Every structure is written in C-alpha cells, then in structure tokens.
C-alpha cells in the first residue's frame, strides 16, 4: 500500500511520562507505516518547556492558530513536587491553560462508546459531548462573610465616575455574600466555538441556563447565544440538518437523562464542571474520553482528556509491564488527521482516520483490552493486554481493514 500523502503539517505537541511513551509507539505502529506523516513538531515535555522558558508552548499555540489543526500529548502541569523532580527554573503554567488563552478556545469532551463498556444510563447509546465555558462566574467570584446586621450593595462606577447601585440585601444578622461577573466577549467566543463545533461534527447543540431566575445575568448568556446564532449560523445549521436548542438547565438535565445521546451540551462554567464529571463517569472511563479545543475562528486542537498517567510511567521505568490505555490518544491523532484531511480535501486521510478508530474499537469489542477496561467490561473473559501489545493488536486490525 502506498503511504497517504499530506499537504499541510499537523502541529504535533509531544508531552510527558507514560503518554509520551505511548505517543511514540502510536506513531511507529499506527501512523508512520501508512501515512507520509507531515508534522511541525513541538516538544512540550516538561524538560524542554523548562529549557525554553516555556517559549515552546507559546510557539506551538501560535503554530496551531496558523495551520488550523494541532494534536497534543498529555503534559505535566507543574506543582511544587514537580519543581523539585525536574529542577525547574519556575513553576511553569499549565500548557493547556496557555494554549486555551492564546486560541481563546472552548474544550469539548466526548466519550468513546464501545460495546462492552456500557454507560450507567442505559439509553445513552450515542456519546454526549460536553462544552464547558471556561471563564468567570463562580470561578472568578468575590465573597464576603457578613458578620452582623448591615446593608450590602452592588456598585458600578463608570469611567466618568457616575455610579449605579443595586441593593443585594439588608442584613439583620450574620450571613454571606458573593459577587460574580462575566464578559460579553467571552460569552460570544464560547458561543462561536460551540456553533462551529456543532457544524464540524454535524450534531445538534443544546444550551441551558437559569434565565427565568437570573433575568439579567443568565439571560445575557441566552441572548448572546441567540444573537450569534441568528446572525451567523442559522442558515448553516439548516443546511447541515442540525438544530440549536435552548432550554432551562433543570429541563436540560431531565432531557439528557432520557435522551439517547448524540449531541453537544454547552454548559456555563459551573454546570460544565459538575456535568462533565457526571457524564464522563457515567460513560465509564476517563481513559476513553477525548478532548478537543475549538477556537471561535474554527481552529482545532485534539488531545486525550486524561493526564500523563504518572504511576504507570514509574512502573515502566522500573522495567515492569504496564497496561495503559492508549485509545483516547489514538483518537486525538485520528481526530486531527480527519480534520486535516477535510481542510485539505484529502479523502484518504479522512478514511484512514475512520478506520484507525474502528480498528481500536474492534480490538476492544473482540475482548482484547487494557486493564482499566477489563475491570469494568461487561464482556466475558476479557484478555488483558500490556500497553504495547494493545497497540500492536490495533495495528493488526487496521492492516486487515486497509
């Protein structure tokens, strides 16, 4: 078979620990034999981030903005222990945070659905993708404990010094108070990313807030989404045969539970924090969750939702066998390759991405899987494979398909 030729490079961001080991193996076994792989490589491993004073993360994010598609391995977000372990010049910021800030993007998380790893909610036969707004509200709040009776007000002082006041509460005793904010620009970017991703994946988009109670704050979210939709996306949605659906958050939760999945659920920051943990744990495994960062202008960066799997890495370094699940990382690559194929009009690349995913799914459905899945599968007598045997098994299935 001739190798598939690429046109535009993928921005490849290498990472840390066990996922860095898997990254190499995925490339060697599942990509390089079949694709004339064209990437612009950035080493986001902590050692190189430290050596470049984190310049490499900024360069990788800018390259992703330039080319439009990136694929990223999990990376260490340093804490004090890591500063000591890697003798860091400083506690470098989370690469994902840096990339998200530069691309102004929203993260979409989707479970990989396979037979044998059954969701707790029986009727969820298709994946539910959660999009979480990553700015403001509770996460940038200001709080105060009120010790005793007194008046609390919201005060806005305009640039010209004029004031606007709103009574929060006339306290007669002790209590608590909280101030939250958000920015129209941030909500607009979130809306664009959601509509873009719905179009890219041809799935309905759901959005929900509590606008009946929060008539100004939450209602602004609802209004901005509606304005952006009508102004830029309504006709594209109609052409794609998908819908934008707005409802109240409690109604959304009830409908989600009864749905069969297959849509994107856009959530405000807090709702997304809570609901993404609920949805991902109900679907079975963090190791089977993909993640894609989408910018308002339609730049895509793919990765696995899990971290660097540190514990397995130290076993690996000690020469012990590991059984680390590489499926979400494989799907990060297939997602990026498919997108690149779409943008460059390379059909073979899209077909390859589909087959790579099918090969991984087929491997699991045939009973061959890593330990994390073997522990939760409903299939009888699963065969537990080590990290590398699993990837080789996927390759065998892939070769049979090609």
Give the binding site for ligand NAP (CB under 6 A).
74-77, 96, 286-287, 303, 306-311, 324-325, 372
Residue 356 beta carbon to Mg ion: minimum distance, rounded to whole angstroms: 30
Helix (H, G, I), strand (E, B) or coil at 140: helix
Q: At CB < 8 A and 24+ separation, what contacts does 318-322 make? A: 321/386, 322/18, 322/386, 322/387
Q: Is 343 exposed, middle or buried (0-12, 13-18, 19+ CB in 10 A)?
A: middle
Pick 232 or 277: Cβ nearer Mg ion? 277
Residue 72 beta carbon to ligand NAP: minimum distance, rounded to whole angstroms: 7
Q: Looking up tokens 């990254």, which residue turns up? A: 23
Residue 64 beta carbon to ligand NAP: minimum distance, rounded to whole angstroms: 15
Pick 60 or 76: Cβ nearer ligand NAP? 76
**Among Mg ion, ligand NAP, none, what binds residue 273 when CB lies within 5 to 8 Å by partner kind?**
Mg ion
Pick 14 or 218: Cβ nearer ligand NAP? 14
Alpha-carbon distance of 15 to 233, in angstroms, equals 36
Residue 373 beta carbon to ligand NAP: minimum distance, rounded to whole angstroms: 8
Contact 171, 127 (CB under 8 A): no
Pick 21 or 76: Cβ nearer ligand NAP? 76
When asked if residue 273 is in the footprint of Mg ion (CB under 5 A), the reply is yes
CA 28 distance to own-chain centroid: 25
Residue 222 beta carbon to ligand NAP: minimum distance, rounded to whole angstroms: 31
Residue 130 beta carbon to Mg ion: minimum distance, rounded to whole angstroms: 11
When asked if residue 234 is in the footprint of Mg ion (CB under 5 A), the reply is no
SS3 content of the chain, % helix, strand, coil (to 5): 45, 20, 30
Helix (H, G, I), strand (E, B) or coil at 224: helix
Residue 31 beta carbon to ligand NAP: minimum distance, rounded to whole angstroms: 18
Contact 350, 359 (CB under 8 A): no
Strand segments, DSSP code E, in 185-323 are 204-209, 244-248, 263-267, 289-294, 300-304
Q: Is 161 exposed, middle or buried (0-12, 13-18, 19+ CB in 10 A)?
A: exposed
- Point out the residue whose Cβ comes nearest to ligand NAP: 307
Pick 74 or 279: Cβ nearer ligand NAP? 74
Pick 211 or 301: Cβ nearer ligand NAP? 301
**Among Mg ion, ligand NAP, none, what binds residue 215 when CB lies within 5 to 8 Å by partner kind?**
none
**Among ligand NAP, Mg ion, none, what binds residue 306 when CB lies within 5 to 8 Å by partner kind?**
ligand NAP
Pick 281 or 358: Cβ nearer Mg ion? 281
Contacts with Mg ion by CB under 5 A: the residue count is: 2
**Among Mg ion, ligand NAP, none, what binds residue 9 when CB lies within 5 to 8 Å by partner kind?**
none
| C-alpha triplet 314, 319, 324: angle, nearest 5° | 60
Residue 139 beta carbon to ligand NAP: minimum distance, rounded to whole angstroms: 17
Alpha-carbon distance of 43 to 57, in angstroms, equals 8
- Beta pairing, strands 163-171 & 150-157: antiparallel
Options 27-35, 186-194, 265-273, 301-309: segment touching Mg ion (CB under 5 A): 265-273
**Among ligand NAP, Mg ion, none, what binds residue 8 when CB lies within 5 to 8 Å by partner kind?**
none
Pick 19 or 209: Cβ nearer ligand NAP? 19
Contact 193, 133 (CB under 8 A): no
Residue 90 beta carbon to ligand NAP: minimum distance, rounded to whole angstroms: 16
**Among ligand NAP, Mg ion, none, what binds residue 287 when CB lies within 5 to 8 Å by partner kind?**
ligand NAP
Q: Looking up tokens 């990290």, which residue turns up? A: 387
- Beta pairing, strands 244-248 & 204-209: parallel
When asked if residue 188 is in the footprint of Mg ion (CB under 5 A), the reply is no
> Which positions from 275 through 314 interact with Mg ion, judged by CB under 5 A?
277
Alpha-carbon distance of 8 to 312, in angstroms, equals 34
Look at residues 130, 108, 115 and name the one whose alpha carbon lies nearest to residue 261.
130
Pick 93 or 255: Cβ nearer ligand NAP? 93
Pick 96 or 290: Cβ nearer ligand NAP? 96
- The H or E element containing residue 108 is strand 106-111
Alpha-carbon distance of 202 to 126, in angstroms, equals 13
Residue 277 beta carbon to Mg ion: minimum distance, rounded to whole angstroms: 5
**Among Mg ion, ligand NAP, none, what binds residue 324 when CB lies within 5 to 8 Å by partner kind?**
ligand NAP
- Write the Ramachandran bin of 103: left for phi over 0, alpha for psi from -120 to 50, otherwise beta: alpha
Q: Which residues form the interface with Mg ion (CB under 5 A)?
A: 273, 277
């Amino acid at each position: 078979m001739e190798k598939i030729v690429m046109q535009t490079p993928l921005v490849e961001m290498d990472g840390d620990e066990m996922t860095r080991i898997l990254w190499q193996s995925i490339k060697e076994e599942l990509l390089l034999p079949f694709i004339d792989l064209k990437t612009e490589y950035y080493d986001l491993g902590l050692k190189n981030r430290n050596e470049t004073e984190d310049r490499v993360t900024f360069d990788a994010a800018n390259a992703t903005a330039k080319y439009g598609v990136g694929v990223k391995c999990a990376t260490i977000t340093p804490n004090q222990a890591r500063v000591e372990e890697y003798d860091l010049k400083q506690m470098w910021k989370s690469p994902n945070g840096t990339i998200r800030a530069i691309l102004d993007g929203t993260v979409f998380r989707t479970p990989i659905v396979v037979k044998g790893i059954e969701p707790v909610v029986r009727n969820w036969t298709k994946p539910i993708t959660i999009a979480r707004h990553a700015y403001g509200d509770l996460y940038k709040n200001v709080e105060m404990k009120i010790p005793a009776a007194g008046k609390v007000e919201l005060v806005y002082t305009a640039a010209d010094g004029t004031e606007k006041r709103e009574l929060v509460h006339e306290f007669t005793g002790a209590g608590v108070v909280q101030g939250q904010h958000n920015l129209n620009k941030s909500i607009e970017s979130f809306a664009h990313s959601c509509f873009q991703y719905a179009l890219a994946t041809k799935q309905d988009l759901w959005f929900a807030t509590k606008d009946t109670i929060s008539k100004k704050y939450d209602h602004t979210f609802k209004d901005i989404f509606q304005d952006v939709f009508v102004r830029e996306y309504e006709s594209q949605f109609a052409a794609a045969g998908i819908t934008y659906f707005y409802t109240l958050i409690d109604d959304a939760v009830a409908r989600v539970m009864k749905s069969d999945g297959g849509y994107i659920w856009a959530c405000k920051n807090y709702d997304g924090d809570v609901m993404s943990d609920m949805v991902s744990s109900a679907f079975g495994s963090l190791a089977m969750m993909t993640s894609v960062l989408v910018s308002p202008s339609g730049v895509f960066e793919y990765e696995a939702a899990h971290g660097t799997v540190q514990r397995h890495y130290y076993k690996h370094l000690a020469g012990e066998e590991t059984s680390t699940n590489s499926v979400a990382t494989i799907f990060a690559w297939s997602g990026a390759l498919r997108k690149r194929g779409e943008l460059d009009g390379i059909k073979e690349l899209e077909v390859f991405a589909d087959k790579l995913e099918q090969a991984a799914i087929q491997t699991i459905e045939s009973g061959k899987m890593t330990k994390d899945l073997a522990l939760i599968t409903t299939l009888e007598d699963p065969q537990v494979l080590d990290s590398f045997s699993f990837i080789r098994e996927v390759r065998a299935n892939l070769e049979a398909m090609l």
